[in-house]
Structure 1
């Protein structure tokens, strides 16, 4: 096992720790923070289970899921996930930040770190993400990172007692620009 830890100017992606549960609850337990995600607000017990699963995944020899803490000034302020697809050259990303972190460029840094991790550390050829059609902030973040909108998956998710479409964005390793947010200087 090789622990994940990489940083940008203001953020660090690192492994989740049992001591992160209260900070993760401030993200996943906040209705505004999860409004566009595929789940409703989580309880403290559910956040504890998420961290336990992430710790177990981190111990796997052929790790396929990277559920990571997004830390600012040494405190968890969000979460990041990179899941390697069945074809190991590709992976899906997901991310969430506390609402008080929105609109300050942290999303750009976070996605930049995920792309850097996927392309440089894991040697991926393609990284993709799916978002709610209403999540314009996530759309802007992915487009600024160089991700291309591929299209809409209709009735992709059953969430909040209704079907929801998803908009897919992707980027290829040779499209990732050297000056992307999160890329080392």
Structure 2
């Protein structure tokens, strides 16, 4: 699977991409609000292997794609969705190398994957969640046209502490209306 945007190439991971994913997965600041801990090289490789195996399933439910800059072919992050076909919805996520933060790459990649979800997979709803302290993440969700549906108090225990969660979502007809204008 491949998706192209004006600046990005979203593609399946290759096993040796762990060299690039570990650049950000080994950084405390990048992994701060992730459920996963900072990863070593072996853990980054294992994560990619799991993604590659899950991508072979039919029907495919996991879409975890490398975000690659077209100009330099540099892998700078990942964007993904886990689809629940029975509910006609998917959960969206993203993570980016800190060097490339605040340049619009994450929202560009996520928008392309959302378009695929609504147009090709015929999903009814796409949602995402984040820690409310992760302002950058929920600003991306808002930029994508998602609306805040919930603020859960201390609903998840991550890295030794109870954390809140914001839940954002967008429905298919909201997405179509937003993208038709």
**TM superposition score normalised by structure 1:** 0.90
- Give, in whole Å, the separation in 1 of the partners of 2:130 and 2:156: 11
Cα separation, partners in 2 of 1:6 and 1:19, compared to 1, 3 Å: same
Would you say the 8 A contact 1:38–1:157 is kept in 2? no
2:47 matched residue in structure 1? 50
1:183 matched residue in structure 2? none
* Structure (1/2) with the larger helix percentage: 2
Secondary structure, aligned partner of 1:153: strand
- Structure 1 runs of 4+ aligned residues shifted over 3 Å read none
Would you say the 8 A contact 2:16–2:45 is kept in 1? no
Secondary structure, aligned partner of 1:110: helix
- Give, in whole Å, the separation in 2 of the partners of 1:179 and 1:95: 25
- Give, in whole Å, the separation in 2 of the partners of 1:179 and 1:71: 27
Give the drift of 1:119.
0.8
Give the drift of 1:159.
1.1
Q: For 1:91-106, list aligned pairs within 5 A.
A: 91-106=90-105
2:8 matched residue in structure 1? 11
Secondary structure, aligned partner of 1:33: helix
- Give, in whole Å, the separation in 1 of the partners of 2:180 and 2:111: 10
Which segments of 5 or more consecutive residues in structure 2 lack a partner in the other structure? none
- Give, in whole Å, the separation in 1 of the partners of 2:52 and 2:180: 32
- Give, in whole Å, the separation in 1 of the partners of 2:157 and 2:9: 32
2:28 matched residue in structure 1? 31
1:178 paired with 2:179, answer yes
1:108 matched residue in structure 2? 107
Give the drift of 1:86.
6.2
The number of residue pairs the alignment matches comes to 177
1:121 paired with 2:120, answer yes
Would you say the 8 A contact 2:22–2:44 is kept in 1? yes
Which deviations, in whole Å up to 9, do the C-alpha atoms of 1:23-74 show, x marking residues without a partner?
Answer: 0101211111111211221111111111111111111121111121111132
**TM superposition score normalised by structure 2:** 0.92
Higher relative contact order (CA 8 A, sep 6+): 1
Give the drift of 1:89.
0.4
- Give, in whole Å, the separation in 1 of the partners of 2:128 and 2:87: 16
Would you say the 8 A contact 2:127–2:170 is kept in 1? yes
